[in-house]
A and B are shown apart, each in its own frame.
Chain A
Amino acid sequence: MNLVVQVLFVLLGLVAVGSALLMVTSANLVHAALWLVVSLGAVAGVFLLLAAEFVAWVQVLIYVGAVVVLLLFALMLTRAPTGSQPELSARRTVPAAVVAMLVAALLGTTVVAGFSGATIDLRHGQVGSAEVTGGSLFRTWVLPFEVLSVLLLAALVGAIVLSRLRSTELSGGDPQMAGSPPDSSGNGGG
């Protein structure tokens, strides 16, 4: 049982890291978004292995369902070319890779040196099912939950206000783009 969990964890971790690497190096925008789906799905599997069942399904619903669809819509609305674009990360690749490797080395050595002896006992823990998580959320963490709902409402209102701005109300902008936005005619009046 324990060996199965460990093998599954290693496989899911390899899938997550590999698809994340393909995501940040892909020359195709839509392929990058789809590799993000694979990576987030593998992370949801990792959550399942770590006895966080409800978080795993929320991850699938919110991230894989909603966030990636939003990203694909943003790619579509910004008229992203669907073909391959080799100049997508042409400059700054080497310094960015150096910084990322330094971050990986620093964080990796820190966590391995700090927690090398500790093991997670998954057999005696409580599975974070919907019942357990809901009870904990609404008994103990009600105030942050409500604050978070207000934050979500504020973000929603902010996104609506931002996307209702007409291009003539914006202060300036490039003159060649002033008349061309196709979606600015129907949403005036606000």
Chain B
Amino acid sequence: MPLWWPLLLAALLFSIGVYGVLARRNAVLVLMGVELMLNAANINLVAFDAYLRDALHSGQIFALFVIVIAAAEIGLALAIVLLVFRTHGHIEVDRLRALADRDEAPEEVRR
């Protein structure tokens, strides 16, 4: 199998994840895009592990580590999303503008 096949698949999945992160409004869908990007990185790691025939299997081990970090990230992020829902009543990321970078201070600072 040519090496660039899994690498191209990973690049395509990564860019689809970038589109998901940039275009979606719901915070849970943004997190799904992040998961897709992490998975694309895993494909790269596993493909180079198979290509280099690493005796220590560092590619596969690092793919496992990335999966663990993704699980930790999704747990924390969903806790934050639920907290945002409890305080604001919605999780649409382009309506959460309390920390936005503005040119001048707004007249009424939202608490």
B104 to chain A, nearest CB (A): 22
Residues of B close to A50: CB separation below 8 A = 6, 46-47, 49-50
A181 near B74 with CB under 8 A, answer no
Residues of A close to B5: CB separation below 8 A = 6, 9-10, 13
Residues of B close to A100: CB separation below 8 A = 15-16, 18-19, 22
Secondary structure at chain A's binding surface: helix, strand, loop or mixed? helix
Once A52-B49, A96-B19, A111-B7 are accepted as A-B contacts, the answer to whether A133 and B94 lie under 8 Å apart by CB is: no
Closest to B111 in A: A172
Per-residue contact bits, chain B 7-22, to A (CB 8 Å; 1 contact, 0 not)? 1111111111111101
Of the candidates A6, A78, A99, A174, which one forms a contact with B81 in the assembled complex, judged by CB atoms under 8 Å apart? A78
Secondary structure at chain B's binding surface: helix, strand, loop or mixed? helix
In the complex, A162 Cα to B56 Cα: how many Å?
A: 38
A177 near B72 with CB under 8 A, answer no
Q: For chain A, give the interface size range.
A: 35 or more
In the complex, A26 Cα to B7 Cα: how many Å?
A: 26
A126 near B53 with CB under 8 A, answer yes
Per-residue contact bits, chain B 37-74, to A (CB 8 Å; 1 contact, 0 not)? 00100110011011101001111110111011111111
Residues of B close to A91: CB separation below 8 A = 25, 94
Residues of A close to B60: CB separation below 8 A = 52, 54-55, 128, 133, 136
Per-residue contact bits, chain A 119-159, to B (CB 8 Å; 1 contact, 0 not)? 11110111010001100110011001000100110011011
Per-residue contact bits, chain A 145-188, to B (CB 8 Å; 1 contact, 0 not)? 00010011001101100110101001111101100110010000
Of the candidates A88, A112, A159, which one forms a contact with B8 in the assembled complex, judged by CB atoms under 8 Å apart? A112
17 more contacts with CB within 8 A, not counting A89-B29, A99-B22, A101-B15, are A17-B13, A23-B20, A24-B29, A47-B46, A54-B64, A71-B28, A88-B25, A99-B19, A111-B11, A112-B8, A121-B53, A126-B53, A128-B57, A137-B61, A155-B73, A158-B79, A159-B75
A-B CB contact pairs (8 Å), 27 listed:
A17-B13, A23-B16, A24-B23, A29-B29, A46-B6, A46-B46, A47-B63, A50-B46, A50-B47, A50-B50, A55-B46, A66-B71, A80-B26, A89-B23, A89-B25, A90-B25, A96-B22, A100-B18, A101-B15, A103-B18, A108-B8, A125-B50, A126-B57, A133-B60, A155-B73, A173-B88, A173-B111
- Residues of B at the A interface (CB closer than 8 Å) are 1-20, 22-26, 28-29, 31-33, 35-36, 39, 42-43, 46-47, 49-51, 53, 56-61, 63-65, 67-76, 78-83, 85-89, 91, 94, 110-111
